[in-house]
Amino acid sequence: MNVLEINQLTKKFGQFIAVDGVSLAIMEGEIFGFLGANGAGKSTTINMIAGLLKISKGEIKLLGKDLKRNSKYVKKNIGLVPQDIAIYEDLTALENVKFFAGLYGLRGNELNKNAIEALDFVGLGDKQKSYPKSFSGGMKRRLNIACAIAHQPKLIIMDEPTVGIDPQSRKHILESVKKLNSNGCTIIYTSHYMEEVEAICSRIAIIDHGKVIAEGSKEQLISLITDAKDIQVEVKDAADFDLKEVNELNGVRSVQTEGNVIQIYSDAEVNNLNEIILHFMKKKVEIRSLKENAPNLETVFLTLTGRKLRD
């Protein structure tokens, strides 16, 4: 069954089209990843799904019900973890969760019980009476998640929930996402961290300039680019090295540097290793190592968009 159906969803800000005819179906039990660079249109899409932003064109259906005509039902069944932490510093952790769960319609004993459970779930069970100002960034993120899940929604949308936090909280959040999913929640997970999306998502949509440019499991996405290979050349010193000249070598599609590693994406069928090595020798650049990597989502993203996910 589809939990969410999005059809030709469009958002315009004045003349600017931030989301451009996005159509997607998200099935029950999925962890569905939205992968895209900054400004790709992920948050705008999510905010329309969560009913926070008016749709310019297109439709959204949650569990078969149209969002425009059933806003109360949709609100009850969606939990949004926003990109910017939205908690009240002058309320305790428990009061925060109860406040947000109350907005989603919970009352009385159920409200109290679910709020406590949600705090336990994110590992803040012993912080019920603490104020968020004493929390680390990661703990605030976890509280933000508790606020979105206490009303036990069918669909949880997480907008970059691991930005700017310590590795321990990051691990905790990723484990919580998997646990929520195994408890029966469908999840939309937005990120520009390729590794996270690769690790937890069953399907992924790559979003670029407001459009879905590819969609499928990690394996399906990688199979889209079997015609590309990824060569990494580690050199002694990549400073001042002219990437444009490498870009002009036979078969090369794009070149990037990361420190002293030069990453070359190239046509798989063109045997250009000799040419590449000769070029480095001619430029008197000392090669430390050279390897060809199996393509991953990074390769897919770069091949499809011509850009790196994170600059």
Ligand X SMILES: Nc1ncnc2c1ncn2[C@@H]1O[C@H](COP(=O)(O)OP(=O)(O)OP(=O)(O)O)[C@@H](O)[C@H]1O
- Assign 190 to helix, strand or coil: strand
**Quick one: tokens of 178?**
């998997």
Task: Please list every residue from 237 through 296 that binds ligand X, using CB under 6 A.
Answer: none
Which of 24, 31, 32, 44 forms a contact with ligand X (CB under 6 A)? 44
Task: Please list every residue from 15 through 34 that binds ligand X, using CB under 6 A.
Answer: 16, 18
Which of 40, 49, 146, 302 forms a contact with ligand X (CB under 6 A)? 40
E strands, the chain, in order: 2-13, 16-27, 31-35, 57-62, 65-66, 78-81, 155-159, 186-191, 203-208, 211-216, 228-235, 252-258, 261-267, 287-293
**Residues in contact with ligand X, total (CB under 6 A)?**
13
**Does the footprint of ligand X cover residue 42 (CB under 6 A)?**
yes
Task: Please list every residue from 93 through 132 that binds ligand X, using CB under 6 A.
Answer: none
E strands, 36-162, in order: 57-62, 65-66, 78-81, 155-159
Closest listed residue to residue 231, CA positions, set 269, 280, 282, 276: 276
Task: Please list every residue from 173 through 192 that binds ligand X, using CB under 6 A.
Answer: 192
CB of 306 to ligand X, least distance (A): 17
Amino acid at the residue 138: G
**Does the footprint of ligand X cover residue 218 (CB under 6 A)?**
no
The whole-angstrom separation of Cα 151 and Cα 171 is 24
Return the range that interacts with ligand X (CB under 6 A); candidates 1-9, 35-43, 268-276, 296-304: 35-43
34 Cβ neighbours under 8 A, 6+ residues apart: 42, 45, 46, 188, 189, 190, 191, 204, 205, 207
**Does the footprint of ligand X cover residue 50 (CB under 6 A)?**
no
Q: Which is nearer to ligand X, 18 or 233 (CB)?
A: 18
CB of 3 to ligand X, least distance (A): 21
CB of 207 to ligand X, least distance (A): 7
Which of 8, 12, 13, 217 forms a contact with ligand X (CB under 6 A)? 13
**Quick one: tokens of 190?**
């937005």
Which of 8, 23, 38, 217 forms a contact with ligand X (CB under 6 A)? 38
Which of 33, 41, 132, 138 forms a contact with ligand X (CB under 6 A)? 41
Sheet holding 186-191, edge to edge: 78-81, 155-159, 186-191, 31-35, 203-208, 211-216
CB of 39 to ligand X, least distance (A): 4
